[in-house]
Every structure is written in structure tokens, then in C-alpha cells.
């Protein structure tokens, strides 16, 4: 299934200062007319010029499972395209930045479904659609089935991409120590 949608316009809201997990958080928002929901995109900036891109429906902002909640309103393609729009915006200020997406497992209370952490549905969407949105010229694409994560490693770093990948992977494990124990 090829992406034929253009997504929605996003609006920068604010930054949040450094905390235990990241150096800075860039917060954006957008509205989906199809779902009639507002969404929040967090781009968490970490060392090694790495951004973890996350999103959730604003209505779930106080939920611990906000990244896992299912909306089920049929607009996933537009939402993914819209989330990917933060990448060129952030590259203007961080031209050597790399990006990552971790597919949170689905927790659907209505359907009584709790998905595995490994190779989950969100990850499979990222793995399939992100290469359609982001080419190989600037980024090397890396996919990790066991942790349902997808990395875009910036080729313009001027160094060894394998070393850069290892640095980012180690930083992610330090930042999210339970990731590999899921």
C-alpha cells in the first residue's frame, strides 16, 4: 500500500527543558479532520544529535499508556505522514540529526487486545511507510524487530556510521533500560 496522502499541517508549540531522559523536547501539534482529534508530536532530543519521535492523541495526554492507546478512526497514513514532517523542520537546526521511532505496543481495552512488544503493529507500519517518506540519500535506514524500533541514521555526520549507530543504540539502552527486557 503506497502512501498517497499528504498529511496535515503541524504547528510548533514549545520546548521543554532537559530532564533525566532527554536534553530537550520539541512539541508540535496537529488536527485530523477525519478523526476529529488533536495530536501531539514530541521530538525528544538526545545526545549524539538523536531525536526520538513520538505522538499521541491529545485526549490521552494524562494517560500512562498514551503512546499505546488505540484511536481506531482510520487515519493512520495521514498521521504518520504528519509526524514525519518534523524531520525536515528539525534538520534545519540540526543538520546532522538522526531520528528514531519505537513502535509502542497496542493496548486496546475495547477489543481486549494487548500486543507483544516484539514486531508490533506500529513498528510494522513504520518499517513499511517510513522508507516511502524518507529516502536513502540523507539517511541510512535501520530496523530492529526485537525492540520494534526504526532508526534513520544521518549519513552526513562525517564519521563512521556503524560507530554512530552503536553510540545511539547504547544511549537508547541507557535512557530506556527496560527496552530490551520487554
Is 160 within the bounds of a domain?
yes
Residue 107 CA neighbour count, 13 Å, CB half: 10
Is 2 within the bounds of a domain?
no
Nearest to residue 182, comparing CAs of 152, 141, 149? 149
Give residue-wise pLDDT tens across range 58-88: 988 887 777 766 666 778 889 889 999 999 9
Give residue-wise pLDDT tens across range 10-35: 999 999 887 767 789 999 999 999 99
Our count of domains for the chain comes to: 1
Whole-model pTM: value is 0.88
Range 87-96 average pLDDT: 97
Is 1 within the bounds of a domain?
no
State the Cα angle at 131 between 22 and 158, rounded to 5°: 60
Q: Give the domain extent around 153.
A: 11-181
Give residue-wise pLDDT tens across range 104-133: 777 777 777 777 777 777 888 888 989 999
Amino acid at each position: 500500500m503506497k502512501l498517497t496522502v499528504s498529511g496535515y499541517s503541524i504547528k510548533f508549540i514549545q520546548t521543554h527543558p532537559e530532564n533525566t531522559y532527554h536534553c530537550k523536547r520539541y512539541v508540535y501539534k496537529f488536527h485530523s479532520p477525519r478523526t476529529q482529534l488533536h495530536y501531539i508530536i514530541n521530538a525528544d532530543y538526545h545526545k549524539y544529535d538523536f531525536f526520538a519521535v513520538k505522538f499521541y492523541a491529545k485526549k490521552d495526554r494524562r494517560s500512562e499508556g498514551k503512546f499505546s492507546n488505540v484511536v481506531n478512526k482510520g487515519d493512520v497514513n495521514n498521521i504518520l505522514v504528519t509526524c514525519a514532517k518534523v524531520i525536515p523542520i528539525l534538520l534545519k537546526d540540526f543538520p546532522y540529526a538522526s531520528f528514531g521511532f519505537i513502535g509502542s505496543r497496542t493496548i486496546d481495552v475495547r477489543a481486549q487486545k494487548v500486543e507483544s512488544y516484539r514486531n508490533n503493529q506500529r513498528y510494522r507500519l513504520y518499517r513499511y511507510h517510513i522508507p516511502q517518506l524518507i529516502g536513502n540519500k540523507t539517511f541510512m535506514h535501520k530496523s530492529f524487530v526485537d525492540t520494534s524500533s526504526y532508526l534513520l541514521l544521518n549519513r552526513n555526520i562525517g564519521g563512521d556510521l556503524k560507530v554512530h549507530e552503536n553510540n545511539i543504540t547504547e544511549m537508547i539502552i541507557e535512557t530506556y533500560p527496560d527496552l530490551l527486557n520487554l
